[in-house]
Structure 1
Amino acid sequence: MASSDISVDIRPDINSFDHFLSMRYIATDRPWLKLYGIRVQPVPPFSSLSYKPDPALIHHCLPDELMLEIFTRMSPYTLGRAACVCRKWKYTARNPTLWRAACLKTWQVSVFDFVIQFHVLMFSSIQFYVVKRSGMEANYMMVRSLYDSSWRRMWLQRPRIRIDGLYVSRNTYIHTGVTEWQFKKTVNVVCYYRYLRFFPSGKFLYKVPIHNSHISPDKVKDAVKCMHFRASKADCVFKGDYVLSEDGQIEMALLYPGHRYTLVRMHLRLRGTTVGANNRLDVLKILTTGVNATELQNWKGSILELVEGWEEDETHDPDVPAVSHSRGLSPFVFVPFEEADTSVLNLPVEKMDYYVPG
């Protein structure tokens, strides 16, 4: 009998336990594969011809008109979180009336240069005229010409300052103490905060650290309580004016009251970690300069209009020189009011010595 006529199974015996160990890495458990082939009926938009009542219990209790009324009373931050609940809420949150109200409330002080083109038949030439619009009219013209009449796209793509929370800057530095017995030198990690709260009217509140609280600085949850609509000298909260350009540049100015008036000018850049977040403020420049008291008494406009055209090293008080600060320029991080108590910026230096804004 030839050897080719005999078929021998030469596969080695595999232990059941070894086979189980190998299958752990070869065949990974993927539960979502069970969803393949199952048709999920999409929910049509509200007021559509193919719209049918939703069998969910909350949608039985609340009609669509009442649900839309609840959504109109939400803040944009809460509206975005509600859109992640279910598909029907996602379609409801995309109602243009919701985002139109949010845009008009945010950009109350808005200026738009509208270019009008005229064709002169007599001279066969084209002439351009620039018409300046402001306020609500500027927002309507801007959403038509730049954002395809989509208020939601305008909300996501246009630079805006968030008013539903605080911008917090956490600064730390190392301070060398007095040498003790010539054997060791004390080194302290000093932490202090800067807070900014903006309002849609072009005003902002600025809180600086108190001199005797550098060891135990104010936390975010404590700063929210004192940064209301009015400034308080006892809490070191001051009021100023700001203006936001369309490229995300912010010009700010505020006045320190005291024996000699000190004018603070800040140049910031607005950016976001994701599209439409606008949750970071990069500090480009901080300038302090002097101002004449007589000039302030006769001035009736805003502080920004007073310093318009000033040079960086210009001062109107010889006793207060112009200084460009190079320390304490950590970016501002946005913290919503809902997360003021749980933010990581409340951690002490013992648990977080340095914070990376990102």
Structure 2
Amino acid sequence: MEAQDTEELARFRQKWKEELKHTKEKHSETIKPGDALNDQPSSSSAEVRDAVVQPVPVQRHTPLEQYTLAVQYEQQGLLDEALTLYRQSFRRDPNVDKAYHREEQKKAIAAHTFVQPKHPPAESSSSRPAPIQTDAHILDLKHLTITDDTRRPLHAVLANFPHDLVFLPEDDNKYSPFRLLPEEIVIHILIELARINDTTTIERFASVSRKGRMLSLDGAIWRDLARRIYIPPQIPESLTVDDLVSAYKEDYRRIYIEQPRLRLDGVYIAVCHYVRNGLSENHWVSVTHLVTYHRYLRFLPTGEVLSLLANEDANPQHIIPLLKPELRMKGFMIGRWCLDGTTVYITELLDPGSQPAKYSFQMTLNLKSRPLGRWNKLDLAAYDSVDVATGEASSFTLKHERPYWFSKVRSYRW
């Protein structure tokens, strides 16, 4: 009995070992193909793995670019794509539509102010550019003609404005009270600003909207201002304001901007410097001093001009309120002025405190505008002393002189 149990146990063990061996062989056969793939990876599998691992670059767009692309899609009839881009652009920038319209206006203005040449020059076969013939270009410029369109680019832009212009609020959710005002009331307000010579506020109002620009060009706003300014000594005695009106084709705003004029609502100031050698107890030490002084010119509508030479001890903030005909201090003189084109003549500069004077002074200056319409710069061309008895003039050197720049003063009224 025991021998039979032992034989059965031996057969069971032998059968179990064979099954276990058979299972290991199958397991090894299933692993080998995987190991072979891992040991020798194919090029196609590597490409697939790289394609999966490496992310596709996403092109980023600004809200304005998305809105522009949405407009293009809408024009092409791709409404779904356009709606998606509209939502994305407004989500990133709620005012993207206003930015888009501003860009379109800039492009429209640039298209009217710049004209492509009809016959562009052919490219040279040589890589080195040909030398510029300066004399030939100068001769060509002599025959250059300027038409009304090139003189007045603003009118070309205004011609494309719609006729039904209205004041629109910057925020569409708010209401603009200017829409309730008739145009006559707005123009009357601008006329009152011109009467107090506040042209800066008029131009700021004009830059707000196209409706404001159209109203600011009304001739009634600039007519009274131009007729008050352009009288002698602002223009020669032989010239009248009607002559200017005819020359500028009754455009009073152009007269105010382009016709030279001396500013009477402020003072022209020149800041000058020179270096002076100093004294030192030590011979190996060199002492130099930078000396600063100011020249002031205030032009009055009566034809008088106030001239003051002050050193750096006198602060301009303290001098400007005192610059009146009643002022009496060293370096102060009163004279007469007149304007001929862009040349300013100052004569009979005398010290009001010394009577009688042996010498008077005279200046010749060139009036310039930086930028256009400001007339805010005076270049000193000549400075002479005149013997009152003989009338003989002697010129001063202008080595250290600098140009005068205009500074507006609120308390100066004319």
Instruction: Name the TM-score, length of structure 2 as normaliser.
Output: 0.55
Residue 161 of structure 1 corresponds to 262
Residue 191 of structure 2 corresponds to 72
Stretches of structure 1 that go unaligned for 5 or more consecutive residues are 114-131, 296-309, 316-321, 341-358
- Which of residues 375, 381, 403 in structure 2 aligns to 1:331? 403
Residue 358 of structure 2 corresponds to 261
- Which of residues 282, 293, 298 in structure 2 aligns to 1:197? 298
Tell me the CA shift for residue 245 of structure 1.
1.0
Question: Aligned with 1:325: secondary structure?
Answer: coil
In structure 2, what is the Cα distance between the partners aligned to 1:111 and 1:277? 15
Which AA in structure 2 matches 1:179? Answer: S
Q: Higher relative contact order at CA 8 Å, sep ≥6: structure 1 or structure 2?
A: 1
- Which of residues 305, 319, 340 in structure 2 aligns to 1:223? 319
Q: Pick closer, same or farther for the CA change 1:61–1:290 going to 2, 3 Å.
A: farther
In structure 1, what is the Cα distance between the partners aligned to 2:284 and 2:382? 41
In structure 1, what is the Cα distance between the partners aligned to 2:51 and 2:366? 69
Tell me the CA shift for residue 188 of structure 1.
1.6
Residue 207 of structure 2 corresponds to 84
In structure 1, what is the Cα distance between the partners aligned to 2:301 and 2:65? 46
Tell me the CA shift for residue 105 of structure 1.
1.8
2:382–2:395 CA contact under 8 A, matched in 1? no
Q: Quick check: which has more Rg, 1 or 2?
A: 2
Residue 6 of structure 2 corresponds to none
1:227–1:237 CA contact under 8 A, matched in 2? no
Question: Aligned with 1:222: secondary structure?
Answer: helix
Instruction: Name the TM-score, length of structure 1 as normaliser.
Output: 0.63
In structure 1, what is the Cα distance between the partners aligned to 2:377 and 2:234? 23
Which AA in structure 2 matches 1:224? Answer: I
The structure whose residues are more often helix, as a share, is: 2
Tell me the CA shift for residue 51 of structure 1.
5.8
Alignment of 1:56-135 (within 5 A): 56-59=175-178, 64-74=183-193, 75-109=198-232, 134=239
Q: Pick closer, same or farther for the CA change 1:180–1:217 going to 2, 3 Å.
A: farther
1:181 is the counterpart of 2:277: no
Q: Pick closer, same or farther for the CA change 1:58–1:187 going to 2, 3 Å.
A: farther
- Give per-residue Cα distances to partners, 1:70-102, cap 9 Å, x unaligned: 322322233333323333332232221221122
Q: Pick closer, same or farther for the CA change 1:175–1:92 going to 2, 3 Å.
A: same
Residue 386 of structure 2 corresponds to 289
Identical positions, percent: 19
